[in-house]
């Protein structure tokens, strides 16, 4: 769970339009590693290991161990080159997965944006009465406000004074 301060610091307007730049960085880094591995394989091939780095059996003695040692020495070279080639293949597959993930993130963002746009358009009329208030003000724009003390009570009911009104006075009038 994220701490509350962290969550409050994330604002949708800051995130809108941002891209999955981390995935771009991974893609470029993978490309650099692939280029370096390809260079190293080329360097190993230029060495001509079989001719220049070959160790003859006679160099190590004439026993069975000498033959095994020369075999494994030559085989080690092949394993290094094969391992580098397999690493390149794995990195290419990983790079393809990163690119696919980036595309999925982009499509997900577009779908979320479309959903939010639709949600906003369906809730535009639900403005918590602001529109109704504006329409009411417009409809009553010609109505003159009257300061009437008859509605000074908290329950907004008119106050009625009992008795008939006397001539010329306002006794018994609604207050």
Instruction: Quick: pLDDT tens for 131-159.
Output: 778 888 888 888 877 666 655 555 555 55
Region of poorest pLDDT, from 32-41, 85-94, 103-112, 130-139:
130-139
Q: Which of 173, 149, 148 is nearest to 162 (CA)?
A: 173
| Residue 30 CB coordination number (10 Å) | 17
Q: Note the pLDDT of residue 135.
A: 84
pLDDT greater than 90 at residue 88: yes
Q: Note the pLDDT of residue 175.
A: 46
pLDDT greater than 80 at residue 126: no
Which residue's entry shows tokens 């009992």? 162
For residue 87, name the pLDDT band (cuts at 50, 70, 90).
Answer: very high
Q: Note the pLDDT of residue 68.
A: 84
% of residues, the chain, pLDDT over 70:
66
Alpha-carbon distance 145 to 137, whole Å? 12
Q: Note the pLDDT of residue 118.
A: 85
In the structure, how many helices (H) and strands (E) does the chain have?
Answer: 6, 0
To 10 degrees, the CA torsion angle through 154, 160, 162, 163?
A: 160
Best-predicted range by mean pLDDT (1-10, 59-68, 103-112): 103-112
| Residue 118 CB coordination number (10 Å) | 10
For residue 134, give both structure tokens: 């504006």
Q: Note the pLDDT of residue 102.
A: 86
Alpha-carbon distance 118 to 123, whole Å? 9
Contact at 8 Å (CB) between 81 and 49?
no
pLDDT greater than 90 at residue 14: no
Q: Note the pLDDT of residue 128.
A: 64
Alpha-carbon distance 12 to 109, whole Å? 13
């Amino acid at each position: 769970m994220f701490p509350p301060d962290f969550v409050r610091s994330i604002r949708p307007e800051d995130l809108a339009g941002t891209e999955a730049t981390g995935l771009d960085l991974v893609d470029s880094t993978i490309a650099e590693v692939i280029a370096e591995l390809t260079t190293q394989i080329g360097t190993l091939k230029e060495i001509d290991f079989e001719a220049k780095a070959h160790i003859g059996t006679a160099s190590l003695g004439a026993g069975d161990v000498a033959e095994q040692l020369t075999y494994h020495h030559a085989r080690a070279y092949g394993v290094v080159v094969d391992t580098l080639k397999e690493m390149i293949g794995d990195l290419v597959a990983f790079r393809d997965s990163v690119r696919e993930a980036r595309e999925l993130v982009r499509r997900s963002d577009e779908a979320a944006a479309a959903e939010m746009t639709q949600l906003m358009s369906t809730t535009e009329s639900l403005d918590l009465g602001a529109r109704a208030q504006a329409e009411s003000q417009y409809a009553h724009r010609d109505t003159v406000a009257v300061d009437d003390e008859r509605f000074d009570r908290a329950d907004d009911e008119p106050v009625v004074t009992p008795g008939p009104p006397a001539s010329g006075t306002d006794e018994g009038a609604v207050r």
